[in-house]
Amino acid sequence: MLSIFCIVFLVPKEIFKTKLSEIFNFLRNYQQYIFIILGVVIFHLVEVNIIDPITTDWVSVDFAYVLEGFEGNILLWFRYNWTPVFVYFFVFIYIAVYPFTLWFSPVYFLISGKKKSLKILSYGLLVIYAVSLPFYLFVPVTNVYKFYGFESALEFVIPSIDSFFYSTTTVNNCLPSLHIAMSILIAWCMYLTGNKKLSLFTFFSMVFVAFSVIYLSIHWITDVLFGILLSVAVIFLLNRYIEDV
């Protein structure tokens, strides 16, 4: 449904005139960026399912207690004031819209020949993940609802989804928030394409993702702030040192 919506209302009609030979040519010219993105995704799955359980046992400390120490119980207010309509909306943002932007954006950059956007996205993902990885491995932070022993909002809306969800992430890979960092990076890369409609779509997605991780009691405020600072710093560096293409 999201694909159809974007194709019908947000993607320029000229893109459908792109020949198959041009797409293959883009693939050859941009293959290094595609390999970077795929490489990070594959390594992340290895980290989640193999490496992280080992390092978590080795560290044996949950730094969520540290975050709670100076954040207090402010996030409990959201959990105790859930409204079904907002829960369903933000779960849709978290479980559908965010993953959609992750795969749709690089595909759009590739098909439309937006090399700079694809380049910044790939290098940005690599740097963001490289900076985040030591925290995920050696500074484990349990997400909010697990820390307080609440039922997941995702499970409330879509029963049994947790088993699938935690095959792609862990309960303690929270600091910094990749959802926040990647949403900002994608919004910026889309802005560089000059497509105002898709830029607005990714901007609002970025804003709603930030609200969703707090409202659904998934991330700590520190996770969100760290994700914002990390993404903004990476974007600044990449725009400073990556030439226009």
Domain assignment present for 117: yes
On the question of pLDDT at 54 being above 80, the answer is: yes
Report the pLDDT value the prediction gives residue 215, as an integer from 0 to 100.
93
Report the pLDDT value the prediction gives residue 16, as an integer from 0 to 100.
63
Report the pLDDT value the prediction gives residue 243, as an integer from 0 to 100.
66
Domain assignment present for 10: no
Domain assignment present for 55: yes
Residue with the larger pLDDT of the pair 22 and 103:
103
Report the pLDDT value the prediction gives residue 245, as an integer from 0 to 100.
47
pTM: 0.91
Domain assignment present for 16: no
On the question of pLDDT at 14 being above 80, the answer is: no
Q: Which of 214, 47, 236, 4 is nearest to 123 (CA)?
A: 236
Question: pLDDT tens digits for 160-175?
Answer: 777 777 777 888 889 9
Domain assignment present for 199: yes
- Residue 163 to residue 173: CA distance in whole angstroms: 16
Q: Does residue 114 come out as left (phi exceeding 0), alpha (psi in the -120 to 50 range) or beta?
A: beta
- Give Cα 236 distance to the centre of its chain: 18
Angle at 15 between CA 12 and CA 19, to 5 degrees: 170
Domain assignment present for 188: yes
Q: What is the mean pLDDT of residues 36-58?
A: 93
Report the pLDDT value the prediction gives residue 22, as an integer from 0 to 100.
67
Provide the domain count of the chain. Answer: 1
For residue 219, give the DSSP letter.
S
Average pLDDT in the chain: 88
Domain assignment present for 108: yes
Give counts: helices (H), strands (E), the chain: 15, 0
Question: pLDDT tens digits for 216-233?
Answer: 999 999 999 999 999 999
State both tokens at 166.
């935690």
Over pLDDT 90: what percentage of the chain?
58
Report the pLDDT value the prediction gives residue 19, as an integer from 0 to 100.
65
Domain assignment present for 1: no
For residue 243, give the DSSP letter.
P
- Residue ranges making up the domain that contains 142: 21-241
